[in-house]
Structure 1
Amino acid sequence: MEKLICEIEALIYASEYGITPAEIKQVMETVMEKSLEEHEIHSILAEIERRYQQEDRVMELRMVNSAYQFLTKPRYYATINQLQAHRAKKKLSQAALETLAIIAYRQPITKLEIEQIRGVNCDYSVQRLLEKELIVIAGKSESVGRPILYGTSNLFMDHFGLNSVADLPKLKEIVAESNTIGEATN
């Protein structure tokens, strides 16, 4: 049993974006040449999760976007944040962040709709987001000319630790009252 736990732990660790229990089952059945029950996979995942809850571990096993992956524990975020600050070339511009936010909240959305919201051309931002695999082409619109529709990718979900788009903060939680126009009526 310990060998199986180590094999699955290695799979999770080596998986670039996370791995689903179904993928774990498929790989392990190929390696072991015998069938595994779903409950066995889940009990092994629970054991791995328990082991990584110990104080001396810097990572924990988490399920994000229906897949398991190792993530750094929150108490180390400040240290990791410093590393990220030094990797400026991977940062998104303000324009790209705005475009990404519009896509996340309004998906599926066309480039024209994004440009109407932002008020400027967004060709470059959309291209950069596609290159960084934070957005994907989600199909074509039924409107005239059948423009491309954009949506967020699994990498976007992984990067922001979301299981679904419903986990995005509600806009009213983000916008401060001081940013409103006009006077409140009682």
Structure 2
Amino acid sequence: MEKEDRLPGMIESFLFIVGDEGLTIKQLTTLTECEESEVALAIDWLRGNYEKRNESGIELKVFGGAYRLVTKAEFAEDIKRLLENPAPKSMTQASLEVLAIIAYRQPVTRVEIDDLRGVKSEGPVSTLIAKGLIMEKGRSEGSGRAILYGTTDLFLDRFGLESLDGLPPLSQEEEGEPIETDLFMTKFQEAFAIENDGGGNIS
């Protein structure tokens, strides 16, 4: 595909990624490595294409010299419903297990999480970091200086906790003995009414 054929798609991709900030024609010229006149033509083509597609909910607008992809005004009420009733964010059972362990044992290393679960936890840990529910809390003192993980303020917000003291406590007997992953999950589910169905929903 020739560069000029790819240009509208490139611009559309850039505008989608930057979101509300938008991009000026000068910035788009730099990013696409094309002449300003070529970028202007591609923008006009994109704008016209959105306008003639009645089924599209997106249009291309310019605000203060910056081009942005925005939703069409006719869908304002539909968008309002979404914002007022956000869809629950789903997490796998594995991610919930890891989150429960971290919540109770933090700061904790991934090796310690793996040992408790009996399986590798790299994927769930990455997912929880991406969701903003856990973060790095420093390094362990042992060999290799492993990363320590703990929960974030977003975790407290999502689960309606003022602090970690709001987690249901483990009994003294449970705290003094090797703890199974099921115990963490049981306490977690009791606290937040999370269904143990292979996935969990967080509002």
Larger RCO (alpha carbons 8 Å, 6+ apart): 2
Q: Which TM-score applies when normalising by structure 1?
A: 0.46
Q: Which has the larger radius of gyration?
A: 2
